[in-house]
Structure 1
């Protein structure tokens, strides 16, 4: 019995020994993967950066592609330079520039490669390729540079540049290395994961001088890079370039949407810049110039600018009041009883009020809406009515993000009961009523709306009550594929379709025989629209902002559009003309209203530099005497300071136009 146990134990030990021996034989003789770690001196790990996906317009025209370039990396600990001055001459660098770059590289890591020089052209690389053999520690990596052949839509496209230290440190899933490129702003950032692809790895043998001697094990352990997916946008690049030309020497935005799909057709932010400026070795220099430009060309105005909507907001007032039951298409109001002046003769029904943009009419509409459940000029009645108004308006996407597929979309401002409670707090009690908020009736006061949201409002009216979140993507990988589901979902406003009819008819009358410049009623377009003139407190009424929203044609609309032209005054002139011309170019594929087009291109509404805010100069604060006492600032002091601003806004209303 004991003999049997002895043999069993010996057998177990022998079996374990054989297993260990077999494993060691496999690891040392058969498995080559560990030799990659043990042969760091003779095997080089080369990261292959994939080509970034290209970007196309809706018809397949190329908007962004990749130009092959080389990035030169340096590993400080391996660097050996026999003659630094000769090396600097070869690289076209000064000695101080060389020292600065090397200091940054050493600070990052002495043993890890980091960028030494960016975006060497094929010609530049060919010139230094052979000489690099004499300088250890430097290695070229094939890369690419974004190229923008259409020279347009810089703000919406974004740009590609080196990843920042903050983004590098805050990665949720480690992917990027120091010196890697990443999309910033616009579509380049929004679709970074799809566009960047997947990097590959190659293992190369090298001799003691660092000269490549071919792939290791015939590439058995290599992984191929996978190119990024192409992005197909909904932009019509021909119309986009034309819209750009209309906004020369102007500050503002043009945004056009296909109301049936929510696809953005045109996205102009003016002034703009050539996107190629931020796609070269001169990135830092060009970026600093753009940042310093007082006209702020880096702001993507269609989604980031906030304006008072002016009289374009009257369309929402008309729709929600009809739904509430306090307004009918034949409801008639004159000018009597209104604190607001108006350019029209007075006495309008709903269609006429939209056509002529009658301020007193919509003052009465708003007042009736607010007080339909209570007595006028009491706080409680105003609060109840304003809350109901807010709940209706927010369904048009006002005061919240629409979810466009770009970063940095602003929410804007849709004032609430709580906002006025805080603004008019006195001795612990809110004291505000209709006389404090009636400027909202014509889109002034505390309302702030982006051009995108007004274009979306035009799409809602064109669709008689629904919209799809505006978006730039029309396909990821292939046209029509990969579109996020949220860009197929319809959002409804809870306004019955019947109430849109008189509003639309009034909008058509506004273009045909109302507040719009006569030449902007282009034959064959059947444009429906609403003008607006947004107050510009900074420069006064002579420089109010020109606004227009609309859609075309009247039945079965194909394009909804919003135009903002800062400092251009009357909404029916500059903004309406631009909208009509863009709609014509999209629908007809040509421009027949050539005189109107030539006139608008010649207009210059750029404010003089002397009128723009000057950069603040930091001045050291003087030290206070020891016995100086400071006033205690109450938590609601900042809100109390709103009162003069609100009072000024109400006083300015008398001069507001359509």
Structure 2
């Protein structure tokens, strides 16, 4: 009996302990913690999300490029809509009846209790025309927000645009914090720096009665949070240089990219055809976007990042540097201009050293330079020798930032292509190709492909004698400088003395007698230019023209790459365009007597081919 009596007290103690735990929890929930009461009161609360002030965008000189302008959205909460006179409502909005019905159907499909946008980007006059009549249409409200506006007609591809978030975006975890009707960066810098530009949202809870009339803050604003404005972006882009480049590229297809070699900062980023950034903002943006999308000239295509072309003769510089580093040639190594190997388009003296070869862009010379780098007798089998040699050559070439993304602060960047032995194995078969199969790579033709940004970066690397910083648009996020990855120096594994061997030949291209890039000369201003022309074979039409350079040669402040589709010789079309861009940046203006070049360079690229 004593045993049973003891068990009774144990059971009672257990029940008492459990009751005490429950009582303590209920006291906490009902008295101390207001979150459950907040949840119970949601039918009488209105949750207002405060969208923060989006960061502004400035150019390198402090000129504001992108700012915020107040606009208004007409919102609808389907559950609150009572006996809607759709015909009258459509007349008030000046919209087709079918469009109003379609938007209302979409709103109901999204949610009957949550507000969604019915009509966006209303200006102040448009708001005034409908606001007084909304009292007759319950369930509709006005939401104010800030929209992007532009103080520039240039830079559309770099700046990108802001658009309404789509259902496809909302399905991704990355965008879980967004709500239907909110706006975010879709492309360009607006997208890459979305987190910094967006800031942090705030939330306010307001008590409302059954008629939706606000009765004040909930619990004195205890659960409210303040929004935090986004950070401003200070770009490295020179807006005057950018606008000038777009002027020169009117009527053409191609790109211009200019960098500061010492920092990797992008000074100009021209993609042609171009369009005004304001086209993709404001009311009717969707229709204008579709017009650009369906334009056969593809103005939305971001050519400096996405278009990959054979680089032509500009690539000879990389080939020579790789061979010098491998030790298979010396600066004074000469090769005959043997046109039985490959055709040479220039009549010139015997290339007894690399300087003469670069000045005259001798194809047979660089054919033999690359053959010396690839075919080094690693194997007695010539097919295996070519395979091993090409692999080693490719690894060195890719250190120049080719064949992979550079990591610029913008999405959509393409890798380009530096073909590998596996590439040719797949195409031709294992041990069924040799150097004669791939020799076109030696002159920047064939399967190789690089972007305009990569080409400009190669010239920046040569200007720095062996290193580069990842190209980037943003000098400073707020007051904090660029992102950390853009401060890291990348070396390409080629000794500085080899770059010094190339530069005199590059200067001779521009300022030497008979150089292929003489139209890029700035000698009359006391500025030395080191450059290289290129004419890229195009099986689909007229050849493409390219020119890449840096200046001043002894203390480079700008590296530039110009690529113009179907413009023929690089020396007659791309070179003078690069000269004007460098003159504009280094001197601040264009000499009056050279302004006639502007008129000659503007217009369709085909005229260069006709007059070459």
TM exceeds 0.5? yes
Shift of 1:72: 2.0
The whole-number CA distance in structure 2 between the counterparts of 1:26 and 1:317 is 75
The residue aligned with 1:94 is 96
Kept in 2, the 8 Å contact 1:271–1:295? The answer is yes
Shift of 1:178: 2.0
Shift of 1:128: 2.7
Shift of 1:220: 3.0
Report SS of the residue matched to 2:73.
strand
Shift of 1:98: 0.9
Deviations 1:452-507 (A, max 9, x none): 111000001000001111111211122xx152222111111111111111211111
Kept in 2, the 8 Å contact 1:133–1:211? The answer is no
The whole-number CA distance in structure 2 between the counterparts of 1:520 and 1:547 is 16
Counterpart check, 1:465 vs 2:466: yes
Compared CA separation, residues 40 and 371, structure 1 to 2 (3 A)? closer
Shift of 1:15: 9.7
Report SS of the residue matched to 1:67.
strand
TM (norm. structure 2) is 0.92
Compared CA separation, residues 74 and 41, structure 1 to 2 (3 A)? same
The whole-number CA distance in structure 2 between the counterparts of 1:64 and 1:149 is 6
The residue aligned with 2:604 is 605
* 488-497 vs 135-144, greater mean Cα deviation: 135-144
The whole-number CA distance in structure 1 between the counterparts of 2:229 and 2:18 is 48
* 199-208 vs 144-153, greater mean Cα deviation: 199-208
Shift of 1:590: 1.5
Counterpart check, 1:124 vs 2:123: no
The residue aligned with 1:567 is 566
Counterpart check, 1:393 vs 2:397: yes
Counterpart check, 1:59 vs 2:58: no
**Equivalent residue in structure 1 for 2:237, among 211, 231, 235:** 235
The whole-number CA distance in structure 1 between the counterparts of 2:134 and 2:567 is 58
The residue aligned with 1:358 is 362
The residue aligned with 1:582 is 581
Counterpart check, 1:475 vs 2:479: no
**What are the equivalent positions in structure 2 for 1:78-477 lying under 5 Å apart?**
78-172=80-174, 174-336=176-338, 337-348=340-351, 349-373=353-377, 378-425=382-429, 429-477=430-478
Report SS of the residue matched to 2:46.
strand
Shift of 1:32: 5.2
Shift of 1:19: 8.3
Deviations 1:229-254 (A, max 9, x none): 11111111111111111111111101
Shift of 1:104: 0.9
Shift of 1:606: 5.2
Shift of 1:125: 2.2
Kept in 2, the 8 Å contact 1:413–1:447? The answer is yes
Shift of 1:560: 0.7
Compared CA separation, residues 545 and 12, structure 1 to 2 (3 A)? same
The whole-number CA distance in structure 2 between the counterparts of 1:60 and 1:601 is 32
The whole-number CA distance in structure 2 between the counterparts of 1:367 and 1:503 is 19
The whole-number CA distance in structure 2 between the counterparts of 1:35 and 1:132 is 33
Shift of 1:396: 0.7
The whole-number CA distance in structure 1 between the counterparts of 2:420 and 2:303 is 25
Deviations 1:216-239 (A, max 9, x none): 344332211111111111111111
Shift of 1:25: 6.8
**What are the equivalent positions in structure 2 for 1:596-635 lying under 5 Å apart?**
596=595, 598-600=597-599, 602-605=601-604
The residue aligned with 1:638 is none
Deviations 1:132-186 (A, max 9, x none): 2332222322212111211211111111111222221122462112222121121
* 345-354 vs 76-85, greater mean Cα deviation: 76-85
The whole-number CA distance in structure 2 between the counterparts of 1:109 and 1:553 is 62
Kept in 1, the 8 Å contact 2:477–2:483? The answer is no
The residue aligned with 1:633 is none
Deviations 1:551-580 (A, max 9, x none): 010112111111101111110122111111
Shift of 1:9: 10
Report SS of the residue matched to 1:498.
helix
Shift of 1:44: 1.2
Compared CA separation, residues 404 and 201, structure 1 to 2 (3 A)? same
Report SS of the residue matched to 1:430.
coil
The whole-number CA distance in structure 1 between the counterparts of 2:364 and 2:581 is 32
Shift of 1:602: 4.8
The whole-number CA distance in structure 2 between the counterparts of 1:5 and 1:422 is 82
Report SS of the residue matched to 1:222.
coil
Shift of 1:374: 5.7
Compared CA separation, residues 453 and 371, structure 1 to 2 (3 A)? same
The whole-number CA distance in structure 2 between the counterparts of 1:354 and 1:597 is 30
Shift of 1:188: 1.0
Report SS of the residue matched to 1:73.
strand
Compared CA separation, residues 39 and 123, structure 1 to 2 (3 A)? farther
The whole-number CA distance in structure 2 between the counterparts of 1:81 and 1:360 is 83
Size of the alignment, in residue pairs? 601
The whole-number CA distance in structure 2 between the counterparts of 1:280 and 1:196 is 19
Counterpart check, 1:76 vs 2:75: no
Report SS of the residue matched to 2:399.
helix
Deviations 1:595-617 (A, max 9, x none): 35644565322579xxxxxxxxx
User: Is there any run of 5+ residues in structure 1 with no aligned partner, and where?
Assistant: 609-657
Report SS of the residue matched to 1:273.
coil
Report SS of the residue matched to 1:467.
strand
Deviations 1:85-124 (A, max 9, x none): 2222222222111100011111212222221111112232
**For the aligned residues, what is the CA RMSD?**
2.8
Report SS of the residue matched to 2:275.
coil
Report SS of the residue matched to 2:446.
coil
The whole-number CA distance in structure 2 between the counterparts of 1:161 and 1:312 is 39
